[in-house]
Each structure stands twice: as structure tokens, then as C-alpha cells.
Copies of this chain bind each other. A is one copy, B any other.
Amino acid sequence: MQPWKTLSRETILDYSKFLTVEQHTVELPDGQVIVDWPWVVTPDYVNVVAVTEDGRFLLFRQTKYAVSGTTLATVGGYLEPGEVPLAAAQRELREETGYAAPDWLALGSYVVDGNRGAGTAHFFLARRAYPVTAIDADDLEEQILLHLTPAEVEAALAAGEFKVLAWMAVIALALRYV
């Protein structure tokens, strides 16, 4: 199996640091050329499932622009320029919850859109999390920090209460290791 080749790329929408759109000319293994393949550049992000020393999951109840009603959410955010995923994960955990953790497990990195890119999601499980500081989040959304039991998390997952793909995904993956 051969990969597709990018023959050329041009920016067709340079909106902000949150969104750039490119048009790629792509050559398939059989020689077919597609001249208008859209490619979306959005920031890479991390999501963290943090579990405290007494086995509680640190999660949020929050609003989100693309979500109807409220949703359960994990710790997470965009990578800052030059930041590696683990550092971003540790920073977001501290900023959003005031917790740190001594035990980090990388749960993999996943491209968000197999056709158009749209960034990469880096997932982590943080175990034995403990409080170290006050919350210092800069998120625009309202959010309430929750401490849920594994059984509560499993029930919420089954009920579709994690309404954003990445949050559901990292929870479903993390539950395999808790």
C-alpha cells in the first residue's frame, strides 16, 4: 500500500491561529491526480483523564459552543507554540483543576480527521492526582469541577453525557487502564 503524495499546497483561508484552510493537489498510487483536496489546519490539543489518589475522576460539567445543553468534559486544551504534549497535559491539569500527578500514561496520538487533518489529539491518563494550587483557567466557558467515581463515569459514558468526540474517546480509552 502506497501513501498519497502531496504535489502542491496553497493557503485559501488564513483566518487565525485557530483555523487555516489549504487546498492540496494530491496524487494517488494509481496516478490519478486530485487538484482540490481541502486540508484544515487547527491546533493540536491534549486531553487528560485525571484520577485522584482515592480513585475519583476529575471532570467538568460545562457548556461548549458546539454542544446542545451541557456536557461532561475532561481536562484539556491546545498546545502552546513549541510545547510538547506531555508538558501541555501537565499544564492544563494544573491550570484547570489545581492538581498535579506523579504517574502519567500516554494513551496515544490520533489525527482528528483522516481526510482533512484538523490537528492531532494527544491523550493521557494521570494517576494519583493530588491538589497543589488554586484553579487558574483561562477558558471562556463556564465549568464546574466534579469528582466522579468510576461507576459514575461508566454510567455517564454509556448515557452519552460526554458529547464531544475527543472527550468520549479519551474516557473510553482511559477506563481500560483504571
Contact = CB atoms under 8 A, between A and B. Distances in A.
Q: Is the interface of A mostly helix, strand, loop or mixed?
A: mixed
A99 to B, nearest CB: 22
Given A1-B142, A15-B38, A36-B16, A165 B29 contact: no
Interface string A58-97: 0001111111111101000000000000000000000000
Interface in A136-178: 140, 142, 144, 157-158, 160, 162-169, 172-173, 175-176
Given A116-B19, A172-B176, A1 B62 contact: yes
B12 A15 contact: yes
A141 to B, nearest CB: 8
A13 interface: yes
A144 B160 CA distance: 32
Interface stretch (A49-57, A105-113, A125-133): A105-113
Contact of A1 (B40, B61, B109, B115): B61
Given A1-B62, A115-B64, A142-B29, A110 B38 contact: no
11 contacts: A12-B15, A15-B21, A15-B36, A19-B38, A64-B114, A67-B111, A112-B165, A114-B163, A114-B166, A158-B176, A172-B173
